[in-house]
Amino acid sequence: MKPLISDLIGPKKPTFSFEFFPPKSDEGADKLFDHITKLEDLAPSFVSVTYGAGGSTRQLTKDLVLRTDRETGLTVMPHLTCVKHTRADIDEILEGYAQGGIRNILALRGDPPNNEPYDWNTSEYRYASDLIHHIKSWGDRNKVNFAIGVAGFPEGHPSTPNRLEEMDHLKAKVECGADFIITQMFFENRDYYDFRDRCNLAGIRIPIIAGIMPVQSIKGMRRMAQLALGMRFPASMLRAIRRTDGSDESIRRVGVHWATEQSRDLLDHDVGGLHFYTLNKSGATLEIYKTLGVQNSNQLTDDPSLQI
């Protein structure tokens, strides 16, 4: 059985993780597996697999999670969203993961697919906290202990403009049993540090893993801005992009450089973990590790034996 992520995180012991989405074809899945194998050399603490809006990748997510668990030494965490799902759906999904030996879940509310109109009053789940409750009680009934991660938003979640209320909602997720938080991607570390301080003041004491997204193209940035409403690209990053010749390769270099600097600074300031949004490619993450001068994640934790 692979470890619980909650057991891997400790003070001064950040986790390193990579996120993938499930490809739609077998050929795509095989290609992704080549990248996963390359990234396994970086010895991440865990990897995660996203869940399509409203359950659109329900089977694909499960297949990729179970295959990764079976065919690699990696600890893998499925994302699970509850929008448009019934309690019976969630029971079936939990049952499948429990039988496959999966013990970590990122519990999310999700959004209706393509932002289609959706009547939340008809929904069996309204918030991620309802899902966490359900996972906990299912686990108690079936004697399965899941480590549960939840989403956090350093720049705020668009549906709750009241940032004080938003913190109450995050705290409710922790009180329901969340073990750790993974943040939405952000590009200014001060947003993460301020979020961490606000969590601390609100009495939220679980580890906060930082979401890192190396920008790879202007098209990708536009897509990110659309998917993660409210996300801010700092002027300094935009200026760095404008200095380039506009080719995808030079924009990618700016993005990788930015993400490397973010990672270095976060590691210097006791980040709970670094979670890389890989976009199903290994190149950018491999380059970040290389530029940091390390072979794998084990070297990213402070090694007092190396005297300078």
What is the contact surface with ligand FAD in residues (CB under 6 A)?
50-51, 53, 79, 81, 108-111, 127-129, 151, 157, 159-160, 166, 169, 173, 182, 184, 211
Nearest CB to ligand FAD, comparing residues 108 and 215? 108
What is the DSSP code string of the chain?
A: -PPPHHHH-BTTB-EEEEEE---SSHHHHHHHHHHHHHHHTT--SEEEE---GGGTTHHHHHHHHHHHHHHSS--EEEEEE-TT--HHHHHHHHHHHHHTT--EEEEE----GGG----GGG-S--SHHHHHHHHHHHHHHHT---EEEEEE-TT--TT---HHHHHHHHHHHHHHT--EEEEEE-S-HHHHHHHHHHHHHTT--S-EEEEE-----HHHHHHHHHHSTT----HHHHHHHHTS-S-HHHHHHHHHHHHHHHHHHHHHTT-SEEEEE-TT-SHHHHHHHHHHT-SSGGGGS--TT---
Nearest CB to ligand FAD, comparing residues 5 and 240? 5
Shortest Cβ 49–ligand FAD spacing (Å): 8
Shortest Cβ 198–ligand FAD spacing (Å): 13
Nearest CB to ligand FAD, comparing residues 118 and 253? 118
Shortest Cβ 206–ligand FAD spacing (Å): 14
Shortest Cβ 248–ligand FAD spacing (Å): 25
Catalytic machinery residues: 19
